């Protein structure tokens, strides 16, 4: 009687990434790497309020970033349980001794630095703007593959800027002087000035605003803006354009932690490692498919040869 063999066929698909190549990209940190990074922090353990024993996980409280973060965690079998949607505290049943705190992204970064939170998920632009190079902040995983955008300088398409297409050309414009500097409006009061100083622009002044920055040049309030850009549609609809060399940084959602917490607070390293493993497992599985089929045959070899003889499945032998 012919034996029945079950043959598992594994297909792996690697779609091109929709996220921009980023100079700050680095591999996610293993548990050992987290411990090593924490040990080098040199922070003051007493600043962590040692009487607190529960681990605190900060998540965005509103908007698309909040929704996509909860969706990612759910896909990692880490569903956030919030009894009352008006409450700012929740938990994850699969992780004991953990509190989830819903906060504004910038407050997540600030509270990681103050010791009020231990780990969090925010945009890399927020970490960079409000962390300001603080060595206590460590990006544990920097490619969560959502929330992609870039912090970019944009200028009008019209007037004196019509033929300006690069940061170098913008800097060389004779209009900019000590009395009449290039006026830039931005919500990124740390990253914006830092970027243009590094690029050597001499005559620049900054003003701060939180919303509707695209209207500033048309209103005569500013010559240019530095703001987050996703598709670029809002810029185009307001007759603005990005220029070559004008991207301050590329950003997406990142998993971040406090080095001091990893080093001194009980349970933080273990929970961080557990979340990290689940995140990486889910992200690696994205785009992969397993196909299992039952086929009759006298041996596994015979079944395999029969499958591979089918031209429609020739990709099993080599790339197509």
Q: Where are the beta strands (DSSP E) in the chain?
A: 4-12, 55-60, 89-90, 98-103, 119-123, 137-141, 149-156, 182-186, 204-208, 224-229, 240-251, 253-258, 288-296
State residue 300's pLDDT score. 86
Q: Give the tokens for residue 319.
A: 């790339």
Burial class (CB in 10 A: 0-12, 13-18, 19+), 318: exposed
With a pLDDT cut of 70, the percent of the chain lying above it is 82
Task: Report the pLDDT averaged over residues 233-239.
Answer: 95
The predicted-structure confidence for 38-89, as pLDDT tens digits, reads as follows: 555 444 444 444 578 899 999 999 999 999 999 999 999 999 998 888 889 9
State residue 12's pLDDT score. 42
Q: Which of 248, 231, 250 is nearest to 167 (CA)?
A: 248
Q: Which residue has the higher pLDDT, 251 or 39?
A: 251
The predicted-structure confidence for 32-41, as pLDDT tens digits, reads as follows: 555 555 555 4
Are residues 189 and 206 in contact, defined by beta-carbon separation less than 8 angstroms? Answer: yes
The predicted-structure confidence for 177-228, as pLDDT tens digits, reads as follows: 999 999 999 999 999 999 999 999 999 999 998 888 999 999 999 999 999 9
Whether the pTM exceeds 0.75: the reply is: yes
State residue 18's pLDDT score. 37
Are residues 267 and 276 in contact, defined by beta-carbon separation less than 8 angstroms? Answer: no
Q: Give the span between the Cα atoms of 60 and 58, in whole angstroms.
A: 7
Q: Give the tokens for residue 172.
A: 């060389």
Q: Give the tokens for residue 241.
A: 């354009």
CB-CB neighbours of 92 under 10 Å: 19
With a pLDDT cut of 90, the percent of the chain lying above it is 69
Are residues 192 and 206 in contact, defined by beta-carbon separation less than 8 angstroms? Answer: yes
Task: Report the pLDDT averaged over residues 244-261.
Answer: 97
Q: Which residues neighbour 312 within 8 Å (Cβ) at sequence distance 6 or greater?
A: none
Q: Which of 39, 68, 1 is nearest to 253 (CA)?
A: 68
Q: Is the pLDDT of residue 1 over 60?
A: no
Are residues 119 and 58 in contact, defined by beta-carbon separation less than 8 angstroms? Answer: yes
């Amino acid at each position: 009687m012919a034996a029945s063999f079950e043959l598992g066929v594994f297909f792996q698909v690697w779609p091109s990434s929709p996220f921009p190549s980023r100079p700050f990209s680095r591999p996610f940190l293993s548990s050992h790497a987290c411990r090593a990074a924490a040990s080098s922090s040199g922070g003051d353990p007493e600043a962590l309020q040692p009487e607190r024993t529960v681990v605190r996980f900060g998540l965005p409280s509103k908007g698309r970033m909040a929704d996509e973060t909860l969706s990612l965690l759910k896909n990692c079998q880490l569903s956030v349980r919030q009894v009352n949607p008006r409450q700012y505290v929740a938990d994850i049943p699969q992780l004991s001794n953990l509190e989830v705190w819903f906060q504004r992204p910038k407050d997540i970064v600030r509270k990681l630095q103050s010791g009020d939170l231990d780990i969090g998920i925010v945009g890399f632009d927020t970490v960079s703007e409000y962390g300001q190079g603080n060595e206590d902040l460590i990006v544990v995983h920097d490619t969560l593959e959502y929330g992609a955008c870039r912090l970019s300088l944009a200028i009008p398409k019209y007037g004196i800027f019509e033929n300006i297409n690069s940061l170098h050309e913008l800097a060389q414009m004779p209009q900019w002087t000590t009395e009449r500097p290039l006026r830039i409006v931005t919500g990124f009061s740390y990253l914006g000035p830092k970027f243009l100083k590094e690029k050597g622009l001499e005559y620049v002044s900054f003003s701060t605003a939180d919303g509707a920055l695209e209207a500033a040049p048309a209103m005569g309030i500013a010559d240019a803006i530095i703001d987050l850009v996703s598709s670029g549609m809002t810029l185009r609809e307001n007759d603005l354009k990005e220029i070559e060399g004008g991207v301050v940084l590329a950003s997406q959602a990142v998993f971040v932690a406090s080095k001091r917490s990893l080093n001194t607070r009980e349970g933080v390293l273990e929970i961080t490692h557990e979340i990290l493993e689940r995140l990486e497992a889910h992200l690696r599985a994205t785009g992969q498919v397993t196909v299992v089929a039952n086929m009759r045959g006298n041996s596994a070899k015979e079944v395999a040869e029969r499958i591979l003889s089918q031209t429609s499945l020739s990709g099993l032998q080599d790339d197509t």
